Chains A and B, each alone.
Chain A
Amino acid sequence: MIYLDNAATSFPKPEGVALAMNRFMTSVGANPGRSGHRLSLEAARAIFDAREKVADLFGAGGPLRVIFCLNATEALNLAIRGLLRPGDHVIASSMEHNSVMRPLRRLEAEGVELSIARCSSEGILDPSDVRKLVRGNTAMIVITHASNVTGSILPVAEIGRLARENGILSLVDAAQTGGCYPIDIETDCIDLLAFSGHKGLFGPQGTGGLVAGARVDTNSLAPLKTGGTGSRSEYETQPDFLPDKYESGTPNTVGIAGLGAGLEFVLGEGIGRIREHEKALTKRLLSGLADIPAITVYGERNPERQTATVSFNIRGIDSSEAAMRLDEEYEIMCRPGLHCSPAAHRTIGAFPGGTIRFSMSYMNSREEIDCAVHAVADIAGGAGGAGK
């Protein structure tokens, strides 16, 4: 069995993740920071440790600026809905996932102005096209760090600098890059970083978060939900400090304990090493696919400028039929279709048919990629020349 659906969620996870979750469920189990007893304290420590590791990995200004959420989608909703008001203008790229587009479209209906910076058909964003869209009331620029369809890496640092020059906040969707590509919110000029816990960070599903940079004024960032936090219990109003203002209700402590172990793995291996391995896999896959006739590969097809995600089509075969055959005949798990990103598929010219997406992780081997290339070649009926 070959799992190539890591852009949806990574699998397998490092061994420590399930062990940490099992340890939490069998020997800690308490509600973090609510009660004052030793198990409550230990649960709070599990969350704090994960918070520190996230801050380390992304260069956040301390663990208290890390807000845990259910997933990157919730983090993006918090940043977008929490900061934008009717009359504000927001710019997004044409490669965004629906986790960005749907909150933006909803706000647009409520009076927020929205402009889309067009990317090329290879998924490349020219920062000058963003600059042209800036207005007096532009409050935020939202861009994905890397497309979940083509893997294309967008120029977040240039966009971030452009945002700073104009007094605009930059929000980056790092769902596809967190844990696989270097991110430093200071050098990349990122004000708000939404991350997924269950992809490159190898945590379980139900984890993710938002890093709030120093320029984010929490007085103007409204929480998505309010409720119990274990702090300021004598007041019926929401606390106004980080991270409690945005973390109401009992958190996914067991999940965050697992995320802590995933982060430990990532920090231990090092982003450099992870990136090199993923680049090598991407290069192998791209060159293997290039040798198969009847295959269209989308994006720049340059391992240096993309994540380990590759989208392609086999001429004459529907993407979902090809994915089903890959699963049933070759035990290869991938994802066909539109990948929750109709905008990106329109940009690359693959709407509404979609693409077959192979998304790899640090856990994949070169041999698995070779097998996958052979399977695609078989299905395309163009076997020969495939694989290296």
Chain B
Amino acid sequence: MSSGIECGVVLFESTSAALKAEKEAVKTGLKVKLIPVPRALNSGCGFCLRFDWQDIEKIRGLLISRELKFEGIHKLKWPPN
């Protein structure tokens, strides 16, 4: 992703849940990446799933349709400063 773009992160309760969501997203053709959780956000596990904010509805749809349990979705600037 280019610098300064708007992106989102999905937070999960466990690394296993984050890895599962990543696989499902990649299968659907979404551009995502597992990254360490930004310090400003409180999360259950060390990783969160970063995505392009323009894909927010697709991500939300995927989380619901695949019954992927998540803790929250946050919008942020990437890279954070």
Contacts and interface: CB of A to CB of B under 8 A. Distances in A.
Contact of B42 (A44, A45, A51, A234): A234
A64 B16 CA distance: 7
B52 interface: no
Chain A interface category by residue count: 20 to 34
A33 B20 contact: no
Interface stretch (B43-51, B55-63, B73-81): B43-51
B20 A63 contact: yes
Contacts of A234: 42
B20 A231 contact: no
Interface string B7-23: 00000011111011001
Contact of B44 (A35, A48, A239): A239
Nearest to B17: A64
Nearest to B37: A36
A135 interface: no
Interface in A31-79: 32-37, 40-41, 44-45, 47-48, 51-52, 62-64
B72 interface: no
B59 to A, nearest CB: 19
Nearest to B15: A33
A371 B69 CA distance: 55
Contact of B20 (A32, A47, A62): A62
A129 B47 CA distance: 51
Contacts of B30: none
B46 A36 contact: yes
A209 B34 CA distance: 27
Given A48-B16, A64-B20, A231-B14, A33 B42 contact: no
Contacts of A45: 19
Contacts of B35: 36
A234 B41 CA distance: 12
Contact of B46 (A34, A52, A239, A244): A34
B19 A232 contact: no
Contact of A41 (B13, B20, B34): B34
Interface string A237-252: 0010101100000000
Given A37-B36, A41-B47, A48-B19, A239 B42 contact: no
A373 B21 CA distance: 53
A231 B42 contact: no
Q: Which of B15, B17, B36 has the most CB of A within 10 A?
A: B15
Contacts of A231: 13-15, 44-46
A214 to B, nearest CB: 12
A48 B37 CA distance: 19
Given A36-B36, A36-B37, A41-B34, A51 B46 contact: no
A372 to B, nearest CB: 43
A230 interface: yes
Contacts of A239: 13-14, 44
Contacts of B16: 33, 44, 47-48, 51, 63-64, 243-244
Nearest to B19: A48
B27 to A, nearest CB: 12
A352 B7 CA distance: 69
A232 B36 contact: no
A47 B45 CA distance: 16
A33 B45 contact: yes
Contact of A40 (B13, B14, B17, B46): B46
Contacts of B36: 35-37
Contacts of B42: 234
Contacts of A40: 46
Interface of B: 13-17, 19-20, 23, 34-37, 42, 44-47, 69
Given A231-B44, A232-B44, A239-B14, 10 more contacts: A33-B14, A41-B34, A44-B19, A48-B15, A51-B16, A62-B20, A64-B14, A231-B45, A239-B44, A241-B13
24 contacts: A33-B14, A33-B15, A33-B45, A33-B46, A34-B46, A35-B36, A36-B35, A36-B36, A36-B37, A41-B47, A44-B15, A44-B19, A44-B47, A45-B19, A51-B16, A62-B20, A64-B20, A229-B14, A230-B46, A231-B13, A231-B14, A231-B44, A239-B13, A244-B16
Nearest 10 pairs between A and B by C-beta?
A36-B36, A33-B15, A48-B19, A231-B45, A36-B46, A231-B14, A231-B44, A244-B14, A44-B15, A232-B44
